């Protein structure tokens, strides 16, 4: 069984079944039955994966720490740089499977959810984040990538 390493929950995405080398050729020729498939214990597989320590939580906390540090040093206002950084963290939070990404951002940034939603709306309107109809998510745009690359040189601090 297999599930991607960055998946936060759910069952396996792939199950591979192969016969034993010294299995009965007649049984192998008959193939799989629904009875055999029902005997596959995916629950213990999921429990084993969920119990195993992952680098996901640590990676998220490191990224959150970077964002907190940046926000503390950032100029006040809804700048291009702020929107690009917020968009990048939002995309990452969604990618790792967070079911409530705005709530996670609130915990990271200490900014109220309503404000964050407005900021993400502004990020989409200003071309930093694409929109996904009916659900959380989106992708960073080239404009966001340019601003993030330019952060080292101080570009992208224009206020609205």
Tell me which residue has tokens 């309107």.
Answer: 125
Quick one: tokens of 44? 């213990």
Residue among 92, 25, 38 nearest 64 (CA): 92
Sorted by where each starts, the structural domains of the chain and their CATH numbers stand as: 1-53 (no CATH), 56-153 (1.10.10.10)
Residue 14, beta-bridge partner list: 2
Measured CA to CA, the distance from residue 90 to residue 98 in angstroms comes to 10
For the stretch 68-125, pLDDT in tens is 777 777 667 888 888 988 898 888 888 877 788 899 888 888 889 999 999 999 999 9
Q: Which residues contact 94 (CB under 8 A, 6 or more apart)?
A: 101, 136, 137, 138
User: Considering just the CA atoms, what is the radius of gyration of the chain in Å?
Assistant: 22
Tell me which residue has tokens 């502004």.
Answer: 122
Query: pLDDT band at residue 156, thresholds of 50, 70 and 90?
Result: very low
């Amino acid at each position: 069984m297999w599930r991607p390493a960055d998946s936060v929950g759910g069952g396996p995405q792939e199950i591979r079944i192969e016969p034993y080398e010294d299995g009965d050729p007649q049984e192998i020729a008959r193939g799989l039955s629904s009875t055999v498939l029902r005997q596959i214990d995916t629950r213990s597989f999921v429990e084993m994966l969920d119990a195993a320590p992952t680098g996901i939580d640590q990676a998220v906390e490191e990224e959150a720490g970077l964002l907190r540090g940046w926000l503390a040093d950032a100029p006040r206002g809804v700048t291009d740089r702020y929107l690009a950084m917020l968009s990048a963290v939002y995309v990452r939070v969604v990618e790792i499977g967070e079911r409530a990404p705005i709530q996670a951002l609130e915990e990271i940034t200490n900014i109220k959810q309503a404000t964050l939603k407005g900021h993400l709306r502004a990020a989409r309107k200003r071309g930093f984040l694409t929109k996904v109809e009916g659900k959380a998510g989106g992708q960073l745009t080239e404009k966001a990538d340019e601003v993030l690359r330019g952060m080292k040189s101080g570009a992208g601090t224009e206020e609205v």
